[in-house]
Amino acid sequence: MSIHHNQPKGLFLLFFVEMWERFSYYGMRALLVLYMVKSLQFSTEKASHVYGWYTGLVYLTPLLGGYIADRYLGQRKAILVGGILMALGHFAMALPSMPFFFGAMILLIMGNGFFKPNISTVVGSLYEENDPRRDGGFTIFYMGINLGAMFSPLVCSTLGEMVGWHWGFGAAGVGMVLGLVMYLWGQKALLGDKMMKPADPQTNYWVPVTLVTMMVSFLILTAMEFNGFEIFSRVPRWLYWSAALFVLIGMAYSYASKPVKSELTHIEKQRIAVIFIMVFFAIFFWTAFEQAGSSLTLFAERETNRNLSLFGWSFLVPSGWFQSLNPFFIVVLAPFFSGMWVNLAETKREPSSPVKFAIALGLLAIGFVVMIAAAAAYQQSGPVSVLWLVGAYFFHTLGELCLSPVGLSLVTKLAPLQFGSLMMGVYFLSSVAAGLIGGRLAGNYDTINHVNFYMIPTATGIGAAILLLLLTPKLRKWMHGIH
């Protein structure tokens, strides 16, 4: 089974750029909770809340970054801006000081906002409408994401946990710089002029400047709150609502001044509605899936027997290494999934995108059934085999391959051209809610019986899958022939 099916050459440039960007992101993420608990002496609850705040907001800013790319910068320039901000953020994380810690997180959150939605939109621009290679191409692109994610915990966790925390964070920064260099080297030759200019250009630049200023101010205030300054508790609630209203008025003004070509047809509105509905169901998936960096990492740290012996050599596996299991399975299985979607499409047997999402939620639930059994085994006889986590991550990965690359592809198929990156930002809102909810859930890890703890994502995954299957006929109608 061929994995490339004559894919565009530009796909492989974006594959490697995204690989290095994800190397930096997941390398930092693998260390984050352990660094906060062990080095900064945060409680499990506070560390989980900061982790949830970070993983949530890192997917809120793509809404802003996608909007600015669609209207002002163009996707290609936005990718460059985002990469520079993230590189600065990783190197700031390598500096051993609390202000640098929160400042680094702000740079990473803003940088991801410019990078993440726009590189996915550029991938979509490589294909014509109803090109059967699209889902397969996004699965290959997704393999690049996970190739970086697979090696980064091995490198960054080894350096961070065994040499020094800031060596691990510095290695993440080097990965981001390598991605930037590759992007600058190959973009002109392999991407041509695709996505260089905004699809629906605007000239009222005060709107993006104001929005970015307000977002950065919000991030600074949130960081100060976590650092003990209790800023939010001293600010009147009406001020929050006034600020939110100001942001909405600014965006409404910008959209009101758009040219006539941006008016949406009835079909386009229905397709956008499908995107929002799929975002809702993706929240259930990512809320559970994001336990990888919090409660599952703590399970690996505290309840898993990490002492392994190979060929007479014994060693303690760093807890962060377990986060390489998911991307390892992605890299192994993605070529199969890529070819499978293309072959099923060619024989007209490919499941629709909503059905793929429902399958993903079911597979995720099975992974947490494995964790329920693992937690029960720990209660009976103490630290458990690493194979329990291997099994859970395997099923989570099967689910991820049915949802994440498919979701990215679906947005590029359904979103009107002038709202391409904005709608990609909307899709990433599922990860905002998931990060915040998942962080709150993980914050209760020390207070809830762990068998009961893992029943929560199991039950929600099954329930969401059933509901989505019931809605699938209506969603397929609104998609108007797009699979």
Of 133-137, 152-156, 243-247, 385-389, highest mean pLDDT: 385-389
Lowest model confidence (mean pLDDT) among 164-178, 201-215, 293-307, 378-392: 201-215
Average pLDDT over residues 36-46: 82
- How much is the pLDDT for 455? 93
Q: Calculate Rg over the CA atoms of the chain.
A: 22
- How much is the pLDDT for 59? 79
- How much is the pLDDT for 21? 93
Confidence class for position 334, pLDDT limits 50, 70, 90: confident
Of 288-302, 417-431, 460-474, highest mean pLDDT: 460-474
Report which DSSP code applies to 292.
G
Q: Say yes or no to pLDDT of 269 above 70.
A: yes
Q: What would the pLDDT profile of 470-481 be if each residue is shown by its tens digit?
A: 999 999 999 877
What are the tokens at 448?
A: 């809830």
Q: Please choose, from the candidates 369, 372, 354, 371, the residue with its C-alpha nearest in 3D space to the C-alpha of residue 282.
A: 354
Other Cβ atoms less than 10 A from the Cβ of 6: the count is: 6
Average pLDDT for the chain:
83
Of 142-156, 180-194, 221-235, 297-311, highest mean pLDDT: 180-194
Q: What would the pLDDT profile of 356-371 be if each residue is shown by its tens digit?
A: 999 999 999 999 999 9
295 contact partners, CB below 8 Å, separation of at least 6: 48, 441, 442, 445, 453
Q: Say yes or no to pLDDT of 398 above 90.
A: yes
Q: Where are the domains of the chain?
A: 9-194+258-479, 203-257
Other Cβ atoms less than 10 A from the Cβ of 241: the count is: 10
Instruction: Could you please state the CATH topology (level 3) that the domain comprising 9-194+258-479 is classified under.
Output: Growth Hormone; Chain: A; (1.20.1250)
Lowest model confidence (mean pLDDT) among 175-189, 288-302, 306-320, 468-482: 306-320
- How much is the pLDDT for 233? 53
For residue 332, what are the β-bridge partners? none
Is the backbone of residue 97 left (phi > 0), alpha (psi -120 to 50) or beta?
beta
Average pLDDT over residues 446-450: 85
- How much is the pLDDT for 254? 54
- How much is the pLDDT for 203? 75
Confidence class for position 281, pLDDT limits 50, 70, 90: very high
Confidence class for position 400, pLDDT limits 50, 70, 90: very high
455 contact partners, CB below 8 Å, separation of at least 6: 368, 372
Residue, of 420 and 116, whose pLDDT is higher: 116
Whole-structure pTM value: 0.73
Confidence class for position 372, pLDDT limits 50, 70, 90: very high
What are the tokens at 148?
A: 């970086």
Q: Say yes or no to pLDDT of 24 above 70.
A: yes
- How much is the pLDDT for 98? 67
HSE-up (13 A, CA, CB side) for residue 385:
7
- How much is the pLDDT for 218? 78
Of 37-41, 276-280, 328-332, highest mean pLDDT: 276-280
Q: What would the pLDDT profile of 210-265 be if each residue is shown by its tens digit?
A: 788 888 887 887 777 776 655 555 555 555 556 555 655 555 555 545 544 456 78
Average pLDDT over residues 36-58: 82
Q: Please choose, from the candidates 353, 341, 349, 351, the residue with its C-alpha nearest in 3D space to the C-alpha of residue 479.
A: 353
Percent of the chain with pLDDT over 70: 90
Letter string b/e over residues 322-339, b meaning 16 or more CB atoms within 10 A of that residue's CB: bbbbbbbbbbebbbebbb
23: amino acid identity, one letter: F
Average pLDDT over residues 11-23: 92
Average pLDDT over residues 147-152: 84
